[in-house]
């Protein structure tokens, strides 16, 4: 793979960074800040911007996903700890792939990082992001319980697309559901998509899951989701992903 050498070098030389996208609860007179999702960014000297999906795909192929994820977890928790000392409240969401959950060291590493940065586990949400189907469901579930034992919350990401299916809702010990942006984007134009989203929100609430909608780009979409009872909104309408300091400014401005 042409990305092998650059990826190995980027891992060795700390060439990645993270951005943070706010998740909010819209109010009639502003927004309530609830948390942010950490998103990987890689700006390579030669290749330019490499999309995180691509970086993750190559890391999976090369068996480098444990290292990449370790970098993400440590960096995200370090930055979150500094931001929290500066006054940031709310949660931090971190993406994990199904392969991460088959790494038996994961929960121990998260535990170590939480202790190192003095972060209560219940401020962290792990988003299970599909890059492949979950293969070993028993091992995955036991790994998820390892994270839950640390107090962390779990979200099923990209719900409605690809592999993220109803059987996962039934079997995984999750707390939240993130509805994929491909459904959200069209709810103001397509009655079918609007009905699907409304039904998924109702289904989630019946199962005691809270719902995050992502990819919200305008007020009409946001208002429709709120009318449906959606708990949290993430999208460009409220904020693009931000550098750590800009996240703090965003939070302070919403207070
Ligand atoms: O900002 P956006 O283009 O960053 O993200 C694109 C995709 O990359 C999303 O599906 C997101 O889940 C994934 N992604 C972003 N950051 C990470 C990360 O740190 N780990 C994993 N596994 N996926 C990530
Ligand atoms: O991990 P996940 O698949 O949830 O990744 C979130 C992705 O969605 C990131 O790539 C983020 O940059 C992107 N994103 C978040 N909000 C919006 C939005 O309002 N519009 C678009 N086009 N992308 C968004
Ligand atoms: Mn995500
Ligand atoms: Na998603």
SS (H, E, C) the chain: CCCHHHHHHHHHCCCEEEEEEEEEEEECCEEEEEEEEEEEEEEECCCEEECHHHHHHHHHHHCCHHHHHHHHHHHHHHHHHHHHHCCCCCEEEEEECCCHHHCCCHHHHHHHHHHHCCCCHHHEEEEECCCCCCCCHHHHHHHHHHHHHCCCEEEEEEECCCCCCHHHHHHCCCCEEEECHHHHCCCCCCHHHHHHHHHHHHHHHHCCCEEEEECCCCHHHHHHHHHCCCCEEECCCCCCCECHHHHHHHHHHHC
Q: Which residues does the chain have with pLDDT short of 50?
A: none
List pLDDT tens digits, range 168-220.
888 999 999 999 999 999 999 999 999 999 999 999 999 999 999 999 999 99
Atom of ligand 2 nearest to the CA of 178: 4
In this prediction, residue 25 carries a pLDDT of 97
The three-point CA angle 72-92-197 to 5° equals 110
Dihedral, CA of residue 118, residue 121, residue 123 and residue 127, to nearest 10:
130
In this prediction, residue 2 carries a pLDDT of 85
**CATH code of the domain containing 32:** 3.20.20.450
Ligand nearest to the CA of 76: 1
Domain that holds residue 18: 4-254
ipTM beyond 0.90? yes
Query: For helices 106-116 and 137-149, what crossing angle results, to 10°?
Result: 20
Ligand 1 mean position, distance from CA 163 (Å): 16
When divided into structural domains, the chain yields a total of 1
In this prediction, residue 10 carries a pLDDT of 95
Under 8 Å between Cβ of 130 and 98: yes
Ligand nearest to the CA of 73: 1
Ligand 2 mean position, distance from CA 22 (Å): 11
Q: Return the residue whose CA atom lies nearest to atom 21 of ligand 2.
A: 215
Least Cα distance to 21 among 245, 253, 243, 249 occurs for 243
Contacts of 9 by beta carbon, 8 Å cutoff, 6+ apart: 15
Ligand nearest to the CA of 127: 3
Ligand 3 mean position, distance from CA 65 (Å): 16
Compute the distance between CA of residue 118 and CA of residue 109 in angstroms, rounded to an integer: 14
Any ligand 1 atom below 6 A from CB of 75: no
Q: Return the residue whose CA atom lies nearest to atom 6 of ligand 2.
A: 214
Under 8 Å between Cβ of 129 and 65: no
pTM for the whole thing? 0.97
Classify strands 153-159 and 176-179 as parallel, antiparallel or unpaired.
Answer: parallel
φ and ψ at 28, to 5 degrees? Answer: -65, -30
In this prediction, residue 28 carries a pLDDT of 85
In this prediction, residue 143 carries a pLDDT of 96
Pocket of ligand 2 (CB under 6 A): 21, 39, 95, 127, 129, 157-158, 178, 181, 214-217, 234-236, 241
Q: Which residues pair with 214 in a beta bridge?
A: 234
Ligand 4 mean position, distance from CA 180 (Å): 5
Ligand nearest to the CA of 216: 2
Ligand 3 mean position, distance from CA 63 (Å): 21
Ligand 4 mean position, distance from CA 226 (Å): 19
């Amino acid at each position: 793979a042409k990305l092998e050498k650059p990826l190995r070098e980027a891992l060795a030389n700390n060439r990645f960074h993270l951005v943070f996208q706010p998740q909010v609860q819209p109010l009639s007179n502003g927004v309530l800040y609830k948390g942010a999702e950490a998103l990987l960014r890689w700006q390579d000297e030669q290749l330019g911007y490499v999309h995180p999906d691509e970086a993750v795909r190559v890391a999976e192929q090369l068996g480098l996903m444990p290292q990449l994820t370790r970098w993400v977890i440590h960096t995200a928790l370090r930055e979150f700890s500094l931001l929290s000392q500066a006054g940031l409240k709310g949660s931090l969401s971190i993406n994990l792939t199904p392969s991460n959950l088959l790494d038996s060291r994961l929960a121990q590493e998260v535990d170590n990082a939480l202790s190192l940065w003095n972060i209560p586990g219940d401020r962290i949400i792990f988003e299970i992001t599909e890059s492949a189907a979950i293969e070993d469901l028993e091992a995955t579930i036991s790994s998820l319980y390892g994270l839950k034992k640390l107090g962390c919350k779990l979200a099923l990401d990209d719900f409605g697309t690809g592999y993220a299916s109803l059987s996962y809702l039934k079997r995984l010990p999750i707390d939240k559901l993130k509805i994929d942006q491909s459904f959200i984007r069209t709810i103001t134009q397509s009655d079918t998509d609007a009905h699907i989203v409304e039904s998924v929100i109702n289904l989630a609430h019946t199962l005691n899951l809270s719902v995050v909608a992502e990819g919200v780009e305008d007020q009409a979409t946001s208002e429709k989701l709120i009318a449906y009872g959606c708990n949290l909104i993430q999208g460009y309408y409220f904020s693009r992903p931000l550098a750590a300091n800009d996240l703090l400014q965003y939070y302070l401005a919403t207070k």
